[in-house]
Every structure is written in C-alpha cells, then in structure tokens.
Structure 1
Amino acid sequence: MIAGSLSASAPMSWAQTADEQAVPYRREVMEQALATRQQYELYGIRFDIDQAVIQPASAPLLDDIARAMANLPEWRLRIVGHTDTTGVRERNQALSLERAEAIKAALVQRGVDAGRLTASGAGQDRPVATNDTAQGRALNRRVELVRYTVSPEAQRLLRAMSDYVARQEQVSFDYDATFEIVTEAGQKLGLASSGTVALRRPDRVRATRQGGFADIEMVFDSRTFTLLGRNVNAYMQVQAAGTVDQLVDQLRERYHRPLPAADLLVSNPYDALMSEVFDSKDVGSGVIGGVECDWLAFRTEEVDWQIWIAQGERPYPVRYVITTKGLPNAPQYTIQLRNWRTGTDVATTDFTFQPPAGATSITLEQARERVSELPAHFRRGGRQP
C-alpha cells in the first residue's frame, strides 16, 4: 500500500501519482466520506515490501482513524486491503488480508475496541485503475475503509423468518424473477421469468421457470435430479441422492443452475443468508402485492442483498434482491414470491419424472447448450440482438 488521495469524490484520475494524491488529505474529508458514503479509499499507509509491517511514517494516518473512531463511538469500520496485479494472485490475496489485519491491530493499540473493527483482503480483484501503468498500480495498492452497522433487530427478524420457513414440511409458491444482464456497452437488460416451486422436506422439490427464451422444469425425487427443457423437448438426468440442502449446493457449485430462491429453501436459511455478512440494517417497512413487510438490507464483500418479510404470524419471504458489486453497473437478481402456501394448503405434487411424449435424453454438456436460460446473443461473445 502506497500513498494516495483521500478525495471523497469519484475515482481519481489515473494520470496522478499516488504521492500527488496524498497532498489534499484531511481527516475531515475522510470522516465526511465515511459519514455520507460509508466508504473511503485510503492511501498513505506504507508497508515494508511484500510484508504486513507498517512503516513508522504511517502513524499520523492511523492516529487520525483512531481519533475519528473515538469521536464517533457508534461507528464500526471494515478495513479491506487491496493490491495491484504484480506477483501471484494467491500471495496478493493473503498479503492484502495480512495488511488489513495489521491496520486493525494498530488501531486496537490506539484504543479502538476490536469489536468495532473487522479486516478483509480483496487482493487484486477490485482495481480502481488500470494495472498497465505505474500510476494505476499505485492507485490499486490501497486500503478501503467501509463504515458498517449491525442491527440486532434485522438479525432477529431474519432469524424469525428462517425458523418459520424451516419448520414447514411442505411449501409451495409462485414467483416472478428478473435477472439483469449488462451488455459490453454498459446497457442493463432485464430477463423476466415466472414459475412455481413445490418443496417437501427433506428431499423432494419441483420447480418451473418460463421466460421469453426458455421453458424449464427441474425435478428432484431424493435420488435423481432431472432438468427438462420443454421448449426443446429434451431432458438431462444426474444421480443426486440426498437432501434438498445437498442438491442446492450441488446445483450451484457443479452445474451452475441454482434453484429459484435456493437460499430461502434450505433447512437453515439464516446461516445460508448470513454467511459473510458484515453489515445489517432494519430499513423499515413496505407493502408488496398488498402484503405489509419488514424491509431488511445486508452487505457482504461480493454482494449487497435485501429481503422483504411478511409481517405477522407467517413471516415468509416476499421479495429477495441480490446486487453483485464486483461487476460493472452492479446487476441485480430479483425474485418476488406470491401465493405462499404451507402444510395442508399445498396442492398434491408428484415428484416423479415422466418424460413428455417424444422427449430426447441428452447429456450434461448438451443440456448446457440446448437447455439454457440465456439466449446465445446474451452470452459473452454472442451476437448482439
């Protein structure tokens, strides 16, 4: 991490060197940026080369951060280390975390409660400038300060939703979803779809999705997962013995085909949702489809997400929005649930699969091409519509 600007405005000019940007630094600017934008790109904390040893010249900046934390005792601060692309990615990742932890330790030594600080390393994966020039690399070697909050009420409401959903042995609902695609020109396009989900714990699920480009059905009977493309009359099957929880992980990690609202369907939604969360907010209330909801917002390093939960004795999820921060223009995935039913209100569902007349059995590789939810012109390298 080398010196740089502490401007609270838009990303800095790549033509400036990090030392030139260090000139306008003022503690008041840093505090204002954290108060208004909750985020600040910090330059000027220097380390020994390829080490997490803070050089003595960095003491004034550390003093300023500690003083700000003392003056604003309600603040919590996340310290995120960043590197340029020089060296090996794995080493950069580890070094960025080590340096963030060193800064945290230095602030604790200055009297900041360790419970108000967290440390994280982003390595080289979130540049703010080009890595093709010395100036750009200097800008990428930085410390990001993120002010965050922890809302016990938001966590309580999310826990209540999780416990309620987990208790339901049978669940069904309809949904509408929008998946945003960002073109190379920076234009956001929303792929809209609708579908149904029926779940019987611990090991049965049937889900459908109909959109402008695909008509898909997924069936799991505790032993076999089937993916059917109704619009191409072809299906793929793989062995997937286990629970719905195990299926969710397998579909996401191995086949890159997540179930609709997957994080909300597992046996412990709270743990699945809160993994890696550092910021939580109880935003207030809202009304969606005539249902009064509690509105909660959460942040992780990679994504921000929001959830609206029905108020009352049935705190079911009504809307779930995920924003991917690491991609240009921060595309979102939104799913809105309706016609929520549980127990005896759930219509009888057959979780066995019977191929439609004339349907063709295809391989996994063929399914990736033929049973896709994205048309070819939306895929990287595809032709524009």
Structure 2
Amino acid sequence: MPSTVTWAQGPDGANMRYSKEALQQALQTREQYDLSGLRFAIAKSTLRAGAELLDDVAAVLKRFPDWSLRIVVHTDASGGEEANQRLSQERAEMIKAALVKRGVPADRLIASGVGQMMPVASNNTAEGRALNRRVELVRVTDSPEAKKLLKAMSDYLAAQKALSFSYDSNLQVITSADQKLGLSSSGTVNLSRPDKVHTTRSGGFVDTETLFDGKTLTLLGKNVNKYTQVEMQGTVDQLIDELKDKHGLPLPAADLLMTNAYDELMKGVYDAKDLGSGVINGQECDSLAFRKDDVDFQIWVAHGEQPYPCRLVITSSKVKGGPEYSLQIRDWKSGDGVPADDFAFKNATNAEKADVADLKQTLSELPDNFVVGDKK
C-alpha cells in the first residue's frame, strides 16, 4: 500500500514533467519527493541513468541550507532479502557521496537502505517491480534542542536512586474492519536502583502486579489469583530486557526506566522536532517529536529542576490505521518522597503458583476475544 503520493503525478493523476521547481515544492509542502529517473545497473550501486537529477537536488539543498535530507532507497523482491537490504544501503550511500561531491555537507544527508520491506505495488509483475525500485528524498528536521532536552530528561531519570509515579495508559488497536478501539488501564511504578522495581496495572481486561527484588521476579495475575516466580539476578535494566525479549511482557514505561533511556529512545531516529511548550496535568512541558522507520513518538518533558516525562505517545506508521499507545504520568515523586517498599512478594491472597506460560495471556492488555493478526 503506497505510503505517500508520488509527485510524478498531478492531482488529476496525469503524469507531470519533472522539474527542479516541482522537487523544491514537494520538499517544502509535503517534505517528501519520489525521485523518478534514477536507474541503477542490475544488482549494483552504479548509476545507469539520471545522474543529472542529483545536480538539481544539490542546487535545492544549497538554496535552503537549513534543510537536511534522508535518502531512502527501495528495491523489488528479486533476490534475497539480506542482499536487497545491502544493495539498497550501498545505493543510498552512493547517492549521498554524489551529493557531497556536488557541494552538499555530509552532515545534512542520511543514507537509508530499506531493501524490499516497503513495497508500493505487487512484485509479481514487471510493472510492480519497477514501481518498487525507487528513491525517496525526505526532508527531515534534526533539532539539537529536542535531542538536548530528551538527553537531559534521560540523565535526570538515570540519576534518581528512587522514583515513583502513577500512570494512565491507552492502547488503540485496529480491527479487521478497520475500526480503532481503545483499551485503557492505570497503574503505579516504584523503582529503587539498581535492582528493585514494583509495578501494578489494572484495566477492564487485566489486573497484574510485578515485583523484582534483585534476586526473584514475581508476576501476579490478580484477576485469576495466580502467580509465577523466576529466579533472576541483575539490575532493573537487565530485567526489562529479559521480560521484553524472552517473555514478551514489557514493563510499563520500560524504555523510560532504563539508565540509558536516551540511547533506547533514539535508536533509529532520523527526525527530531522541538514543538515548544505544552501543558499536561497542569505542568508546563517541552513537547518533543521524533520519527523512526516504523514508529513516531512524542514526549512531553516537565520544565524545571525535575525534567521528568509527563506523557509519551507512540504511533505505528507502517500499520494501516496507525495504532497508538499512550502513557500519561501523574503523582511523580523522587528521592525521599518515594513511598517505602521492600519489593518482596507476600501472597496475601493465597494465590496459586503457575507457570509463566499459563499466566502470559492473563498479563496481556488484550482480552481473549482479540485475535492478533500476523501483520498487525
């Protein structure tokens, strides 16, 4: 499914003649241009035709010195996936080098090869494969201020030996009939670095509690009165990775709880914007927006000496309908203000011990009547 309108066509669908003005207008108004006309040698990064188009791209970038450009190269599905990924990256690097040779500073250019992963047409026909072999120019914003504010938040969070907060979350899912449905929950987080955390999450379909004391992880499904325990020694960072990668059960606000939150959040980011101020729960915040290949995320960071996250919104950009997860934080506390907790499981309700596999569906935010599709 096409993700963008191809600027090689007009509003009525008629083909338009390429021009430098059309390229400039596209990048100004839509922030993207499909650079038709570049032709590569088969399975190589050598340009066969269209090099003169890069003269126009360089000229436009010189006219607008504040612009940065992401060069996204796609292939069809001929050949292997890994080979196509490598080939597309080599072609993107070649285009970047050609623009640098034409006087564009290298730090204004991002070369991204995505291989065959984002087709706009069927690969079963020659016409479809030709459409899938394309080069997109995407104007990006690389705000140093946005990165600086996010890094300040991350450093502040990592420096807190103890912190706690309450949160409200909403997971929007897309049905097979393209209806967007919201599943809401609330909970609490109490963290003591380096190796203790206690979280709760309660909603219409889920009521769970997670405790970790540096030696034992306990997962409690309150709605079924069952629990499981796993012997595990390590830090909260290691726990987060283990839950996510091994069990598919991420903690609430997991990336924000890690000591390297900035690095985790910035993986794959190619666009960063500082949107100015906003207000969340009466707290003035900096509003920051970031883009990756598969998701957009926006985060609001509190002003003042405690730059904690007030709200986080993550939106899928590659799934139809743009499913979204949001987390809004309240009752933020740190240091001596954090309520006391020994992070030990008491089993006050005489819960039955079970295997983690038996509890996994109970710990999920999705109810039993939701069936997850292969692609969704």
TM value normalised by structure 2? 0.93
Find the aligned partners of 1:185 and 1:132 in 2 and give their Cα distance: 27
Find the aligned partners of 2:131 and 2:200 in 1 and give their Cα distance: 47
2:28 alignment partner, one of 9, 32, 35: 35
Runs of 4+ in 1 over 4 A off after TM superposition: none
- SS, match of residue 286 in structure 1: strand
Find the aligned partners of 1:381 and 1:247 in 2 and give their Cα distance: 28
Which residue of structure 1 lines up, in the alignment, with residue 46 of structure 2?
Answer: 53
Between stretches 191-200 and 368-377, larger displacement belongs to: 368-377
- Judge conservation of contact 1:285–1:295 (CA < 8 Å) in 2: yes
Between stretches 282-291 and 372-381, larger displacement belongs to: 372-381
Residues 288-303 of structure 1 aligned to structure 2 (within 5 Å)? 288-303=280-295
Shift of the alpha carbon at 1:46? 0.7
- Judge conservation of contact 1:203–1:244 (CA < 8 Å) in 2: yes
Q: Which runs of 5+ in 1 are unaligned?
A: 14-19
2:182 alignment partner, one of 178, 185, 190: 190
CA root-mean-square deviation: 2.1
Shift of the alpha carbon at 1:364? 2.7
Find the aligned partners of 2:80 and 2:39 in 1 and give their Cα distance: 20
Which residue of structure 1 lines up, in the alignment, with residue 87 of structure 2?
Answer: 95
Which residue of structure 2 lines up, in the alignment, with residue 7 of structure 1?
Answer: 8
Which residue of structure 2 lines up, in the alignment, with residue 142 of structure 1?
Answer: 134
* 2:36 alignment partner AA: Y
Shift of the alpha carbon at 1:344? 1.1
Shift of the alpha carbon at 1:379? 2.1
Inter-CA distance 5–331: structure 2 relative to 1 (3 Å threshold): closer
Shift of the alpha carbon at 1:370? 3.8
Residues 46-125 of structure 1 aligned to structure 2 (within 5 Å)? 46-55=39-48, 57-125=49-117
Between stretches 59-68 and 333-342, larger displacement belongs to: 59-68
TM value normalised by structure 1? 0.91
- Judge conservation of contact 1:6–1:26 (CA < 8 Å) in 2: no
Find the aligned partners of 1:176 and 1:8 in 2 and give their Cα distance: 44
- Judge conservation of contact 1:8–1:30 (CA < 8 Å) in 2: no
Residues 136-285 of structure 1 aligned to structure 2 (within 5 Å)? 136-285=128-277
Inter-CA distance 370–149: structure 2 relative to 1 (3 Å threshold): closer
Find the aligned partners of 2:370 and 2:258 in 1 and give their Cα distance: 30
- Judge conservation of contact 2:189–2:199 (CA < 8 Å) in 1: yes
Between stretches 355-364 and 258-267, larger displacement belongs to: 355-364
Q: Does 1:319 align with 2:311?
A: yes
Inter-CA distance 218–8: structure 2 relative to 1 (3 Å threshold): farther
- SS, match of residue 280 in structure 1: strand
Find the aligned partners of 1:259 and 1:145 in 2 and give their Cα distance: 37
Between stretches 370-379 and 145-154, larger displacement belongs to: 370-379
Find the aligned partners of 1:33 and 1:239 in 2 and give their Cα distance: 56
Inter-CA distance 159–235: structure 2 relative to 1 (3 Å threshold): same
Between stretches 332-341 and 357-366, larger displacement belongs to: 357-366
Aligned length: 370
- Judge conservation of contact 1:178–1:333 (CA < 8 Å) in 2: yes
- Judge conservation of contact 1:5–1:25 (CA < 8 Å) in 2: no
* 1:36 alignment partner AA: T
Q: Does 1:333 align with 2:334?
A: no
- Judge conservation of contact 1:318–1:337 (CA < 8 Å) in 2: yes
* 2:42 alignment partner AA: I
Inter-CA distance 193–9: structure 2 relative to 1 (3 Å threshold): farther
Which residue of structure 1 lines up, in the alignment, with residue 356 of structure 2?
Answer: 364
- Judge conservation of contact 1:154–1:296 (CA < 8 Å) in 2: yes
* 1:25 alignment partner AA: Y
Shift of the alpha carbon at 1:292? 0.7
Find the aligned partners of 1:356 and 1:90 in 2 and give their Cα distance: 52
Inter-CA distance 363–79: structure 2 relative to 1 (3 Å threshold): same
Shift of the alpha carbon at 1:24? 3.0
- Judge conservation of contact 2:68–2:141 (CA < 8 Å) in 1: yes
Find the aligned partners of 2:322 and 2:169 in 1 and give their Cα distance: 17
- Judge conservation of contact 1:6–1:43 (CA < 8 Å) in 2: no
Find the aligned partners of 1:246 and 1:86 in 2 and give their Cα distance: 40
- SS, match of residue 180 in structure 1: strand
Shift of the alpha carbon at 1:5? 5.5
